[in-house]
Amino acid sequence: MQKMNILNTQDLNFKEEFAKLLMRGKMDINSVELRVKELLEDVKNKGQEALKEHIKLFDKWEPKDFEDLKISKTQMQEAYEGLEENLKESLKIAYKRIYAFHAKQKPKTWLDFEENGNILGQIINPVQRAGLYIPGGKAAYPSSLLMNVIPALVAGVKEIVVCTPTPNNEPNHLLLAAMHLCKVSEAYKVGGASAIALLAYGVKECKKVDVISGPGNIFVATAKKLVFGEVNIDMIAGPSEIGILAQNYTNTKYLAWDLLSQAEHDEMASSILITTNKDLALKVKEEIYEILPTMQREKIARASIDTRGAIIVAKDLEEAISLMNEIAPEHLELLVENPLEILPKIKNAGAIFIGENTPEPIGDYIAGPNHTLPTGGSAKFFSPLSTEHFMKKSSLISFSKQAILELGEPCSTLAHCEGLEAHKNSVLARLNKI
């Protein structure tokens, strides 16, 4: 039975159905918040004993002590050396492209010398220690390791620590190999909210970090939200999603596979096509349900498509663009006749893929831009993970004698208006007026 919805903007119930799509990112954090708080406090108060209990419960193996939680550099190196050459080469190509892109993002310290002798500026420094969470439940994601470690390396972070779950104490060899390629020297076999607690509070020789990045399930997202302020975080990301804008695009198989590329991630993933062509909408739906039985992850993809997938038929391209801006998808594919002409009208998207030769998976692995992206409509106010997430800014101010004489009076006036006498007099003393 084909359950994927085809909505038409002219339908009487369209606004109601579209509103449901806009709610797709509302993970029910309230439902797990109490449990996550308990897990965080447990690790904060009991340290390694709590971690051992959590791993026995969730990952089904029993570490003896904190040493058992560590992933050694030897393990990473052996995993890398055991890779087939084509896989090694693929990882190297991805590494180089991701590094080159993020190097262009790196902000620089700047100074501005004014005529009166003032010096104003901004000093950029990396954080000292970054914690990276790499999922490892339903699948292992070496690509996520590259996308999180490399921006931190480019930023100049001295200490990078990785946490990843290892069900049954069986680390993923490709993930270990990627750690070796990225020169990770500190990594732990800890997942979920427990890993976020380890990174945020520190346990034994694993010191607390300054910033945590990386995707995860609702427990990880909730934990990151709760420790924000204790440390910085990248964003609170939910299930993966894709939006596709299509006009009279004829290769419906491309569209079907692109929608399924997100559906196979997670039952809660969202795949949304907006088109101006009703016949194309029907054909894409047909293609999807023809492909599904051939997929290794059919059960996951089918659940996603049936419950969270949608095809919308818009009256024209302007309406289609407006709807997609409301959706603000994590990934947006533009499969339209003149994509560069409509690009200025795209206001909300995590990453934009232009043309039929740029499927979303190109961005996941090899293009270069980061694939850690805002989800659930948060592209309206969040940006992709970048080098800047691992850096901090300090303002620099140096006034000359001439400058304090020129600007002291208006400064003291403003301080006086706010009733802050010491502020005012601090300035007036330098003007010899008190």
Supply the residues annotated as catalytic.
330-331
- Report DSSP letters for 9-35, one per residue: TTSTTHHHHHHHHHTTT---HHHHHHH
* Residues in the chain, overall count: 434
Contact 375, 276 (CB under 8 A): no
- Strands in 150-266 per DSSP E: 159-163, 186-188, 211-213, 232-233, 241-246
Long-range contacts of 300-303 (CB under 8 A, 24+ apart): 300/138, 300/263, 300/264, 300/265, 300/266, 300/267, 301/260, 301/263, 301/264, 302/263, 303/267
Q: How far apart are CA 417 and CA 424, in angstroms?
A: 9
Q: How far apart are CA 148 and CA 371, in angstroms?
A: 9
Contact 199, 212 (CB under 8 A): yes
Task: Outline where 336-398 has alpha helix (H).
Answer: 339-342, 360-365
For residue 129, which phi and psi values (nearest 5 degrees)? -140, 125
Q: How far apart are CA 213 and CA 132, in angstroms?
A: 5
- Strands in 199-266 per DSSP E: 211-213, 232-233, 241-246
Q: Which one, of 218, 202, 191, 200, lies nearest residue 133 by Cα? A: 191
Angle in degrees, CA 324, 328, 333, rounded to 5: 65
Alpha-carbon torsion 44, 372, 127, 68, what sign?
Answer: positive
